[in-house]
Amino acid sequence: MPRPDPPAPVLAWETLLDLSDAPLPLRDRLERAVRGAVQAGRIPAGAALPPSRALAETLGVSRWVVTEVYGQLVAEGLLEATVGSGTRVSASSRPVDPGAPEAPPVRAEYRRPRYDLGPGVPDLRHVPRARWADAVRHTLTTLPDGEFAVVDRLGHPLTRTAVAAYLTRSRRAVAAPDDVVITHGATDAMTAIARGLHFAGHRTLLVEDPSWPRLREVAASTGLVPVPVPVDADGVDVDRLAAAAVRTGARAALITPAHQFPTGAALAPARREAIVRWARSVDAVLVEDDYDAEFRYDRRPIAALQGMAPERTALIGSLSKSVAPALGLGWAVMPAALRERVRLGDAARPSTLDQVALARFIDSGDLERHLRAARGRFRRRRALLLAATARELPDLEVTGIAAGMHGVLALPPGVRGADAAEAASALGVAVSALTRYRVSAAAATPEALVLGYGNLSDALVDEAVERLARGIRSLA
């Protein structure tokens, strides 16, 4: 029998954690008790929690209950699990003001899985909460009274200016303030662009196969039929794109040149030139989804394609992958000639307050400070992930991981991605098959898994990959 870890020295855990919240399952009672004790400040930031085995003994519960609860609260960021030093209350966990209403409980549907390898989620433990609060307060303090009466349809001038400058320096985009439209995010931008394309007579949209479903779905909902074009290791196949355009009459394409989703390929230089030549030759519109281009590790940043053909490229981006979806902020860059072709509709845009806070967040340098810190975190986590896969799955290759927050793990012959994802799920690991993002059922999408690491806790990388490997081996 393993020797129990020594109990934590100072705190009287059985008193601190009141489990008498009767009608709930024991696991939920413990979770509530730990959360309540941290939020009330009874367990201070930085304090070590007892090892799971010790706490289970103290409280007379099964060890599984404790590890589950620790895992959940680590995933929420309330606790931190560090290799070698156990589980602690996060330094960033703030006791709720005494007297203030309790923090909202995490709703079950928004609990992220413990071993979270889902793509497209930023590191929720490191949302720049205080910096964003500062940007909002600064805006509320300095905004002239008259501005509180209005909402700009295309974006506040301060925000359009700040975003144009940011994209010019960080994405080498060609963007004047008037070319920028502030949106709620990429989906909002795509909805407006798709409506505009439909209005201008488009009925089809060339899309990469595989690709992120959400944007093609909103395009489809406005009446644009998606036309799939295959993707390989050099990104979207431009010859086949041109052929599909001839076949269908399509004159608009939705592409992810910096870091193809989900394969992770960067569009090869020759293809970048080829797609621009194609677009010019048939007077087409390119919609560039620049979803996670801020994060690049192995090579120098790839500039936005938009800079090569600003007159016909709508560049869309957002804070959702780089900061947090909950801020509901993004943009589209469209030079005037394109804006006239792509009418933006009159959907409600973000509030003046949020827009000016975004301008402040960029102009103060906070956005780029946050991105630098996130880049460092993701680089380290990516190294952990690659080391763990090399160790646990030495025969399998991880590709598409030069940028962004995900890579692609090729599966052994005979193992289907969907089955591997299901086997991983049974072991508590959330991961998706590459085929999930397939557009055409006939597409030759490789059997592989998309490994997102944006929101995976560093401390859980090894465990997650070990479980994942176990799942894959059970099928091979």
For residues 154 and 386, which CB has a smaller minimum distance to a copy of itself in the complex?
154
Among 136, 154, 386, 418, binds a copy of itself (CB under 8 A): 136
For residues 27 and 112, which CB has a smaller minimum distance to a copy of itself in the complex?
112
Q: Output 78-84 pairs: Cβ under 8 A, ≥24 positions apart.
A: 78/34, 78/35, 78/38, 79/34, 79/38, 79/49, 80/125, 80/457, 80/459, 81/457, 81/459, 81/460, 82/458, 82/459, 83/458, 83/459
For residues 298 and 346, which CB has a smaller minimum distance to a copy of itself in the complex?
346
| Torsion on CA atoms 236, 237, 238, 239, rounded to nearest 10 | -170
Q: How far is CA 149 from the centre of its chain?
A: 34
Query: Interacting stretch for a copy of itself, rule CB under 8 A, among 146-154, 286-294, 382-390, 444-452?
Result: 146-154
Lookup: tokens for 185: 């995010």
| Torsion on CA atoms 129, 130, 136, 139, rounded to nearest 10 | -150
Query: Interacting stretch for a copy of itself, rule CB under 8 A, among 187-195, 280-288, 300-308, 426-434?
Result: 187-195
- With contact defined as beta carbons under 8 Å apart, do 114 and 74 qualify? yes
End-to-end CA distance of the chain: 33
Q: Which of residues 41-70 bind a copy of itself (CB under 8 A)?
A: none
Query: Interacting stretch for a copy of itself, rule CB under 8 A, among 136-144, 308-316, 410-418, 463-471?
Result: 136-144
Cis, peptide link before residue 25, omega less than 30° from 0: no
Among 149, 441, 442, 444, binds a copy of itself (CB under 8 A): 149
Asked if residue 1 binds a copy of itself (CB under 8 A), the reply is no
CA distances from 10 to 44, 61, 221, 358, 476 (A): 12, 21, 59, 44, 49
Among 68, 80, 179, 188, binds a copy of itself (CB under 8 A): 188
| Torsion on CA atoms 245, 250, 254, 255, rounded to nearest 10 | 10
For residues 29 and 195, which CB has a smaller minimum distance to a copy of itself in the complex?
195
CB of 122 to a copy of itself, least distance (A): 8
CB of 141 to a copy of itself, least distance (A): 5
Q: How many helices (H) and strands (E) does the chain have?
A: 15, 16
- Tokens 């465990």 correspond to what residue? 463
Asked if residue 129 binds a copy of itself (CB under 8 A), the reply is yes
Among 348, 441, 442, 444, binds a copy of itself (CB under 8 A): 348
Q: 317 φ, ψ to 5°?
A: -155, 175
For residues 325 and 400, which CB has a smaller minimum distance to a copy of itself in the complex?
325
Asked if residue 346 binds a copy of itself (CB under 8 A), the reply is yes
- With contact defined as beta carbons under 8 Å apart, do 122 and 405 qualify? yes
CB of 129 to a copy of itself, least distance (A): 4
Query: Interacting stretch for a copy of itself, rule CB under 8 A, among 76-84, 298-306, 367-375, 399-407?
Result: 76-84
Q: Which of residues 315-344 bind a copy of itself (CB under 8 A)?
A: 324-329
For residues 260 and 455, which CB has a smaller minimum distance to a copy of itself in the complex?
455
**How many whole angstroms separate alpha carbon 294 and alpha carbon 260?**
14
Asked if residue 373 binds a copy of itself (CB under 8 A), the reply is no
Query: Interacting stretch for a copy of itself, rule CB under 8 A, among 92-100, 242-250, 278-286, 415-423?
Result: 92-100
For residues 133 and 426, which CB has a smaller minimum distance to a copy of itself in the complex?
133
DSSP 39-67: HTTSS-TTPBPPPHHHHHHHHT--HHHHH
For residues 219 and 275, which CB has a smaller minimum distance to a copy of itself in the complex?
219
Instruction: Mark out the alpha helices in 307-441 (DSSP H runs).
Output: 336-341, 352-363, 366-392, 417-426
**How many whole angstroms separate alpha carbon 127 and alpha carbon 136?**
15
Query: Interacting stretch for a copy of itself, rule CB under 8 A, among 5-13, 186-194, 229-237, 247-255?
Result: 186-194
For residues 132 and 437, which CB has a smaller minimum distance to a copy of itself in the complex?
132
CB of 163 to a copy of itself, least distance (A): 15
For residues 6 and 98, which CB has a smaller minimum distance to a copy of itself in the complex?
98
**How many whole angstroms separate alpha carbon 240 and alpha carbon 373?**
39
Looking at residue 404, its amino acid is: G
Q: Which of residues 217-236 bind a copy of itself (CB under 8 A)?
A: 218, 221
Asked if residue 137 binds a copy of itself (CB under 8 A), the reply is yes
Q: Which residues have C-beta within 8 Å of that of residue 122, sequence separation ≥ 6? A: 320, 321, 322, 323, 324, 374, 405, 454, 455
Among 14, 18, 44, 148, binds a copy of itself (CB under 8 A): 148
CB of 57 to a copy of itself, least distance (A): 29
Q: Which of residues 436-465 bind a copy of itself (CB under 8 A)?
A: 455
CA angle 188, 191, 195 (to 5 degrees): 145
Q: Which residues have C-beta within 8 Å of that of residue 130, sequence separation ≥ 6? A: none
Asked if residue 157 binds a copy of itself (CB under 8 A), the reply is yes
| Torsion on CA atoms 333, 337, 339, 341, rounded to nearest 10 | -130
Asked if residue 312 binds a copy of itself (CB under 8 A), the reply is no
Among 1, 10, 91, 150, binds a copy of itself (CB under 8 A): 150
